[in-house]
A and B are shown apart, each in its own frame.
Chain A
Amino acid sequence: MAHHVAVFLENRPHGLERIGLALKEAKINIRALTLADAGDYGVAKLLVANPQKACNVLKDAGLIASLREIIALEMTDLPGGFFEASQKLADAGINILDAYGFIVEKGARAILVVQVEDVAQANARLSGIGMKSISDDDLADL
């Protein structure tokens, strides 16, 4: 199972800075970060080495944080790599709500993170086509 940490933020200066400071002090490294915006407020999503710890640290810092299960798939960092991954997801009938990606090793490995409605169902469908989401531990070792 893989998780990212979602943080509720009002749309005003210092929001991201507070996240950064809390994670810095807890010595937690950020793998990837994405922001969704709804005008007055937004949601920051953070893929980190230790999501449970990061979530607690952010809550302790007075932020609204929530641990959310996601699916992380490895893809090749070459043209067509994303196509291949997205095609598999489509073939498995998995509908994607939100997604982001990052490179692990240039020209070799990249990770696609997707957020879906029903993670259990999506995982079952992935195993049906012989695929598996990377786990939190695997992500921490990247």
Chain B
Amino acid sequence: MYWAKEIEELPRKQLEELQAKKLREIVARAAKSEFYRQKFEQAGLRPEDIHTVRDLAKIPYTVKNDLRDNYPYGLLTVPLKDVVRMHVSSGTTGSPTVIFHTIEDIRRWADLMARSLAAAGCIPEDVFQNMTTYGMFTGGLGLHYGAETLGMMIIPASAGNTDRQIKLIQDFNTTVIHATPSYALHIGDVMQAKGHDPHQFGIRIAVLGAEPYSATTAAKLEKTFGYTAINSYGLSEMNGPGVAFECEKREGMHIWEDSYIAEIIDPDTGEPLPDGEEGELVLTTLDRRAMPILRYRTRDLTSFVDAPCSCGRTHRLLDRFKGRSDDMMIVSGVNIFPSQIEHILMDFPEVGTNYQIVLERAKSLDSMIVRVELMPDAFTGDIRDLNNIRKKMGETMRSGLLVRPNIELLEPGSLPVAQGKAVRVIDNRQL
């Protein structure tokens, strides 16, 4: 189903003209922020130097640390009274990065999200159960507003409480769900353990995102439930979900090029790569009012699909995401950097600074184990004190990371000594 047929099928030439027009406007708007004013000045760039999409190359990249270093208002281009909402994204250290929205930003985001859901086959008659966390992260509210704009009935179930999720599906005949792929697998496991055939529930579409997952996982879910698995991509810096989305043809994820300019670059050299080659996705917002972000290095690895989609939409397709060009981990749909954990460990003199993170997946649910070495002086001889250290570290990490790791205390020297770029993360999950 089309939501904005004219835009979705806009011929490439006109689409690129639209991009160029919006690019000129957003560069001028961005220059109003303290951050871009300085960045342009350093690069010797004047907003009027930008004419076509090809001029994009003149604009320096924006990276996550820029957002952190200019926390909280450095990228804002409008007075705070015009801001209606903020969201956060995980930062690489203790402080998160913040994204602000005007009412127009929120409406455009909801509209893009509605377009994405419509392309996936959702209709107003659908009952939409939103099984991702509501709150500062964008997955919950992003899909919520989009589903509402489309006109579906929303069950704002949020994440977790699987028994209740299944009861809601049963009682209200849920036809569309939004979840992380690992949680969707978990629901299937629980349904089967309770003696249900997941097919019986009549769910016809599952929007799955926030974690990279393989085509095999998608196929497994489709077989288990009998629904169509739709791949969803987004990041808080670019709004959240609704940046790229599979349509019913599922030949890749349409990147909505009237709202974003997508580039694929070599993550090591920063050079643009030709279509079809795998590299890091770089995105430029075209519609943002509160907080324009130009040439943002997503650190997500993908490639353009080298053929147009058979659906007729002219917006290019991104391939399934392959991973990250940095060390960010995605645990239960939550983005975590090892450096965040390192940061927290520094506040605990009872343990050393060497650490290891082990990721496991059991019964389709992720778990994170943080292994640290006990400092000899911190040992009182009482096991309760050790348990308290472990508990306090677990609590601090849960509030900082939104995931509670299991802390393992080790004897000094148990962990490999960091040499060069230490391998801190051992991921034993089958994604």
Chain A contacts to B: CB under 8 angstroms = 4-6, 8-10, 36, 38, 40-43, 45, 59, 62-68, 97, 115
Contact = CB atoms under 8 A, between A and B. Distances in A.
Interface of B is mostly: mixed
Residue of A5, A66, A67, A115 with highest tally of chain B CB at under 10 A: A66
A38 B411 contact: no
A10 B411 contact: yes
A64 B374 contact: yes
Contacts of B408: 40-41
27 contacts: A4-B381, A6-B381, A6-B382, A8-B386, A8-B409, A8-B411, A10-B409, A10-B411, A10-B414, A38-B386, A40-B408, A41-B409, A41-B410, A43-B381, A45-B381, A59-B376, A62-B411, A62-B412, A62-B413, A63-B411, A64-B374, A64-B376, A64-B412, A65-B379, A67-B381, A68-B382, A115-B382
Contacts of A68: 380-382
A112 B411 CA distance: 30
Residue of B383, B409, B412 with highest tally of chain A CB at under 10 A: B383
The 7 closest A-B pairs by CB, nearest first: A6-B381, A68-B381, A66-B381, A43-B383, A36-B383, A40-B408, A64-B379
A64 to B, nearest CB: 5
Contacts, number: 54
Contact of A97 (B376, B382, B414): B382
A37 to B, nearest CB: 8
Contacts of A41: 386, 408-410
B384 interface: yes
Interface string B164-208: 000000000000000000000000000000000000000000000
Contacts of A38: 383, 386-387, 390
A5 B383 CA distance: 13
Nearest to A36: B383
Interface in B352-384: 374, 376, 379-384
A115 B380 CA distance: 12
A99 to B, nearest CB: 14
A64 B413 CA distance: 11
Residue of A5, A40, A63 with highest tally of chain B CB at under 10 A: A40
Contact of A40 (B382, B409, B413): B409
A63 B387 CA distance: 19
Given A8-B374, A59-B376, A64 B383 contact: no
Contacts of B381: 4-6, 43, 45, 66-68
Nearest to A55: B381
Contacts of A5: 381
